Amino acid sequence: MRKIGFIGTGLLGYPMAESLLEAGYHLNIYNRTRSKAEPLSEKGGVIFDSPEEVIVNSEVIITMLSTFDANLNVLKPEKNDFTGKTVIQSGTIKVEENIELKKLIEEKNGEYAEAPVLGSIPNVKNKTLITLFGGTKEQFEKFKPVYEVFGKNVEYFGVIGKASAAKLAFNQLIATLTAAFSMSLGFVIESGVDVEKFMEVLRKSSLYAPSFDKKLPRMLKRDFSNPNFPVKNLLKDVNLIYEDFAEKHIDTEILDALKYILRDALRIGEADSDYSAIYNAIHKK
């Protein structure tokens, strides 16, 4: 299994593809904007002008795309034959969307697995990305070495839909924890409390999350450039979370507030900033 197709070399997809090349895998690559993928050719990647070419020339096709529709547009299951091929969807999409993709790929004689990843660019580079794998146990054992290139934590969640459900649950925590910390930090600053003293106590408590310290320098400087995960993508995920949580009869009032805050962050020009820029929407300048 050395001929892997990789579709989608965005913020996270690029370093993932780069890591696979460094690990010795043969990679057939497609990205909608070819220039963003082109540097990977210098590392041994073969860049194609169409996703169809990647599919034809690959045994395994990993997609790292932001939406269900983007997956449909590149995979075109109504047109392409997937006999002898496996599609692994690694972006964040809804549970039922993964199930629908599985159905469409299997109808064209292919196999399907889901492997959404938890983490960001630094996690890929230092090999601490966490993979949530959904599919058969046989698929998990077969493809685990591929995802171990990004980090040793490759966790098996069972049938299609379970891993994507877990990913949405994790991303809900990303959004709510960042918003909650932004509120407390803003209040501490406006109240004249020493921020380092506040953090010192917080780190000793059960309330602490390491992400607070990761985002603290950005918030204090209000510098949200060079994002690992932008605000607009978090809003996309929160909309997915809202729909799937509501379908499971989970109260979504907190998510209503989050959507308002994220839309406000977009309104003030933070769409492409790091997602921690929601601090600027919560604690306005």
pLDDT at 2 over 90: no
User: What is the pLDDT confidence band of residue 1, given thresholds at 50, 70 and 90?
Assistant: low
- Of 276, 244, 252, nearest in space to 96 by CA: 244
* Bridge partner residues of 274 (DSSP): 230
What's the whole-model pTM score? Answer: 0.94
- Distance CA(110)–CA(285), nearest Å, equals 53
Query: What pLDDT, on the 0 to 100 scale, is given for residue 164?
Result: 98
Query: What pLDDT, on the 0 to 100 scale, is given for residue 285?
Result: 87
% of the chain at pLDDT higher than 70: 99
| Helix ranges, the chain (H) | 13-22, 34-37, 51-56, 68-75, 95-107, 121-125, 137-147, 162-190, 195-204, 210-221, 231-247, 253-267, 278-282
Query: What pLDDT, on the 0 to 100 scale, is given for residue 217?
Result: 98
Over residues 205-250, the pLDDT tens digits come to 999 999 999 999 999 999 999 999 999 999 999 999 999 999 999 9
Q: How many CB atoms lie within 10 A of CB 253?
A: 7
User: What is the pLDDT confidence band of residue 19, given thresholds at 50, 70 and 90?
Assistant: very high
Specify whether domain 165-282 bears CATH 3.30.479.30: no
User: What is the pLDDT confidence band of residue 265, given thresholds at 50, 70 and 90?
Assistant: very high
Interacting residues of 201 by C-beta distance below 8 A, sequence separation 6+: none
pLDDT at 188 over 90: yes
pLDDT at 263 over 60: yes
Region 82-94 average pLDDT: 97
**What is the dotted CATH code of the domain comprising 3-159?**
3.40.50.720
Over residues 109-121, the pLDDT tens digits come to 999 999 999 999 9
Whether the CB-CB separation of 112 and 106 falls below 8 Å is answered with yes
Over residues 152-180, the pLDDT tens digits come to 999 999 999 999 999 999 999 999 999 99
Sequence spans of domains, the chain: 3-159, 165-282
